Structure 1
Amino acid sequence: MDSRSQIRDIILDVERNCNVNNWKVNDIHLWPYIRIHLFFNLIDEIEIGKTTSSYKPGNKKNSKYIYRGFKKKIRKTLECINSVFFFFNWIKNIPNRQTVFVSSNSFRVNYRNKRFNRFFDVLVEDEQAYSNYMYLEYGSTLTDQYKHENVFKFGFALKGFLCTHIRKKTKLSLDGYDYFLSYLERYEYCKKFSNKFSKAYISQWAKTIFIPKVIFFKKILRRISPKELIILCYYTEDIYPLVAAANNLGVSTIEMQHGPQNKYHLAYGSWYAIPKTGYDILPRIYWCWDDFSANEIKEWADSNSIYSVEKYGNPWVDYWNKKSKSYISKDFILYTLQPLPIPLDVLLHNKILNIIKTSKKKWFIRLHPRQWNDKEKIKAILEKHSLLDTVNVDVDNATVDPLPLLLANCSLHITYSSGSALEASYFGVKTIFIDKMGLSYYPHLFRNKLAFLADFNSDDFTTTLEDYFKAID
């Protein structure tokens, strides 16, 4: 059994045997939040293994550390005061809009000398339906976004609101949560999760973090009065409460596909325990790229009229299909990297680097947007193997140029398990997966001979990969 099947089986077993829908705060079900964290924790434990830190804090209480602590408290107090003033000014300038696009900088690319949202900005350009819009962005302090006058970053405003917010009484139910934690003990991989997501932790998070954020977003949404939220990746700490607030106010919540969606991705697939009233944390509508993704979500969504699935296509790919695809290079191999949980020592293992070194083709090595902080580390690995300054390897253009343009001009795509494989298929480009996860996540690509497996962990990995090169050539 592969790891994602194992993880899915564990979570579905928990849902069958624990009263997961009993856990609510102010009538908002908490299970989606807990489930998705359990999903990613199991990925971390099963696919990466446990990590330990060599750091031991010690017991330093001398005057130097007391002074530093005092300075830190003053800095935090001043920041809190500044954020409060920022919040009142920020909310005063929030406009009324029909459509709110919810995104982050990781979905932007360098295009037209700006940070261009590859999924949303193309809709704004081509669709009159989205002429009355704004962005709510999370996790970004940049100011060079395309049409930045429509971009409202809420992080610092949220901090200001939380500094002034007076907590109200909350209605919390965690009936059966202790049994859930004890039930997890039968699985060796769940200990780390159980230790962190204790009853006390979930109670504190729900009352002091989640509900105040829901109140903040309700306040914002009442001011904007939107008809719809279109969201890229709903399963982040600040977007859970935003989705819950929008659903509670009757605003349409639409999750736009940004990668693989299937029964093994437990943020999207296999939601078989949804109550009739639905989960407020989950978006109601799913915008899918293709039939396979849509059908995977329909498998559970069709049983509850609250949820629906629409196949609207991939806006970024559709945009480039209408444009000229001339490029600086052709017939190269595109290798798309991925961030954690896949470690760099796998992505850039000697076996792979040696194949690149002996290849007759040029290789474009593309970093994932969440790997920007690792860029110099990745380049150092390539330089160590005398690959960085060769004409055969391109990292910079491969990373900053639009992915559809690269896919339209490459001869082959290689990846561990990236959703880029889906986009490659739209250009008729074959993908070689170097991990068995590809078999689970993209079975339709294998059926259609658009995907092949060269298992990195197998002894014949190099031979298999080279055989594919010859066959595809």
Structure 2
Amino acid sequence: MYEFLADYIDWSVTKISNGKKPPEADGFFPMNFMDLRLFANPVKYIRHQRGAKKYLDSIGVVEEIERRSGLIFKSLLIKSISFILAAHKSARSILKRSQPRAVALVCYYHNVNFAYINAAKSLGIPTVDIQHGKQGIYHLMYTHWSQIPEGGYRMLPDFFWNWGENSKINIQKGRNSLDYHQPIALGNHWLINWKKTRDIKPSLTYEKLLDAYSTIVLFSLQQDMENPIPDFVLKVIEETQHSVLWLFRLHPAQKIGNAKVREMLGNLKVNNIEIKESSALPLYQIIEHIDIHLTNWSSVCIEALGFGVKSIIVHANGYDLYEELIKVEQFFFANDSNSLQSAMDKILADTGEVDASTHFLMDMEIIKERTTQLFIHRILSEK
């Protein structure tokens, strides 16, 4: 994305971190780092914390929501509100000093990004969310906005940069206005660039392991699930230990669940499992080598389609999300060892073509035209 827009825009990139500067390998372009503890003023945080608690106590709606849903999130809500308000001044100061023509964010619903969007709106700076995963029909940070206020929401981006038409349509559905928070299909440039350059980090040990098996399966894990790998999947792993290599990729934001995953896999006492390199290497480098993809409901299943790889969904939530794709056998669903083995056999038998055209816009001429319209003729001309 940075390279693609370099012809149009001079970038300034900022990453907020917990006091630790990431290794240089994390970015090939100049990047500014800011300590999260300095970004949100601690004194203001405490002041806003008291105010947020007082306000939520006065309206009582949070207790009612907790009672009906069974979810306890009042303390989390207070922390989030306090952080966003305490960080607003820092974000606004940064934007006033740098005077950007636009602010682009990855995953806009992070508290740091909420603070930036809030500050950008107060300064009249357009904001763009860059798609980082599947924006499905049940993703409440992108869909089911039936009460958009006049002028739009203060902490939602003005534009959404989508990989393709499917995500764009999901955002458009069920809204009372298309004047604010507009989705635009502009492509997945990591996928486009990877297919051109195949920027691979060599790993001889890993490649040697892959060559030792005729069938490679990748399981993309969710974040911190109570039961991250269904029992019937573990059963099939044991049954196929001489013919199938199972790669497990931890969710990049997963913390609590890592130990649980390793314990479950360690209890199998088999040799056809790999997790370390599969969690560290670039995702597309892994997908290029696999025959089958498994997941509970991770959007990696959509990205796998871009490489001609079909997925097997092994959780009921995933079935709800991808029911349409399961019906046309772009994906398969399994809820026991027999249905999983059957789905694996079908995929290996190469049943049907893989169609990723609605998920990923790959036509660079269309992408360039739309990007020019958005960034040059619309956003930049308004400043």
Q: Is the 8 A contact 1:254 1:286 kept in 2?
A: yes
Other structure's SS at 1:142 match: coil
Corresponding position: 1:471 with 2:346 = yes
Q: Is the 8 A contact 1:287 1:309 kept in 2?
A: yes
Q: Is the 8 A contact 1:139 1:155 kept in 2?
A: yes
- Segments of 5+ residues of structure 2 without an aligned counterpart are 349-383
TM superposition shift of 1:419: 0.8
Matched with 1:214 is 88
Other structure's SS at 1:138 match: strand
TM superposition shift of 1:150: 2.2
* Aligned residues between the structures: 331
Q: Percent identity?
A: 24
- CA distance change for structure 1 residues 301 and 316 in 2, over 3 Å: closer, same or farther? farther
TM superposition shift of 1:334: 0.8
How do 1:104-253 residues align onto structure 2 when only pairs under 5 Å count? 123-129=1-7, 132-140=10-18, 141-145=20-24, 146-147=27-28, 149-159=30-40, 161-163=41-43, 178=59, 180-181=61-62, 184=65, 187-190=68-71, 192-193=72-73, 196=75, 209-253=83-127
Matched with 1:277 is 151
Partners of 2:63 and 2:237 lie apart in 1 by 49
Deviations 1:413-463 (A, max 9, x none): 0001001011011112111011122233234432442111112xxxxx111
Other structure's SS at 2:155 match: coil
Letter in 1 for 2:16: Y
Matched with 2:373 is none
TM-score with structure 1 setting the length: 0.62
Partners of 2:185 and 2:220 lie apart in 1 by 25
Matched with 2:262 is 379
Other structure's SS at 2:138 match: coil
TM-score with structure 2 setting the length: 0.75
TM superposition shift of 1:339: 1.4
- Segments of 5+ residues of structure 1 without an aligned counterpart are 1-122, 456-460
Matched with 2:363 is none
Corresponding position: 1:292 with 2:292 = no
Deviations 1:219-249 (A, max 9, x none): 1110111111111112222222221111221
Other structure's SS at 1:370 match: coil
Alignment counterpart, residue 251 of structure 2, candidates 350, 368, 381 = 368
Q: Is the 8 A contact 1:246 1:252 kept in 2?
A: yes
Q: Is the 8 A contact 2:156 2:181 kept in 1?
A: no
Alignment counterpart, residue 348 of structure 1, candidates 229, 246, 250 = 229
- CA distance change for structure 1 residues 361 and 267 in 2, over 3 Å: closer, same or farther? same
TM superposition shift of 1:186: 7.0
Alignment counterpart, residue 411 of structure 1, candidates 271, 277, 291 = 291
- CA distance change for structure 1 residues 395 and 157 in 2, over 3 Å: closer, same or farther? same
Partners of 1:348 and 1:165 lie apart in 2 by 39
Q: Is the 8 A contact 1:134 1:152 kept in 2?
A: no
Other structure's SS at 2:7 match: helix
Matched with 1:358 is 239
- CA distance change for structure 1 residues 447 and 288 in 2, over 3 Å: closer, same or farther? farther
Q: Is the 8 A contact 1:301 1:308 kept in 2?
A: no
Other structure's SS at 1:322 match: helix
Partners of 2:21 and 2:194 lie apart in 1 by 26
Matched with 1:258 is 132
TM superposition shift of 1:373: 6.6
- CA distance change for structure 1 residues 165 and 361 in 2, over 3 Å: closer, same or farther? closer
- CA distance change for structure 1 residues 178 and 325 in 2, over 3 Å: closer, same or farther? closer
Letter in 1 for 2:36: G
Deviations 1:258-290 (A, max 9, x none): 112123111111011111121111111111112
Q: Is the 8 A contact 2:293 2:301 kept in 1?
A: yes
TM superposition shift of 1:302: 7.3
TM superposition shift of 1:157: 2.7
Q: Is the 8 A contact 1:260 1:441 kept in 2?
A: no
Matched with 2:193 is 319
RMSD: 3.3
Alignment counterpart, residue 332 of structure 1, candidates 216, 223, 233 = 216
TM superposition shift of 1:403: 1.2
- CA distance change for structure 1 residues 182 and 133 in 2, over 3 Å: closer, same or farther? closer
Q: Is the 8 A contact 1:294 1:309 kept in 2?
A: yes
Partners of 1:304 and 1:238 lie apart in 2 by 26
Q: Is the 8 A contact 1:333 1:362 kept in 2?
A: yes
Deviations 1:393-416 (A, max 9, x none): 221221122211222221110001
Partners of 2:63 and 2:258 lie apart in 1 by 42
- CA distance change for structure 1 residues 128 and 158 in 2, over 3 Å: closer, same or farther? closer
Q: Is the 8 A contact 1:431 1:452 kept in 2?
A: yes
Letter in 1 for 2:269: S
Other structure's SS at 1:410 match: coil
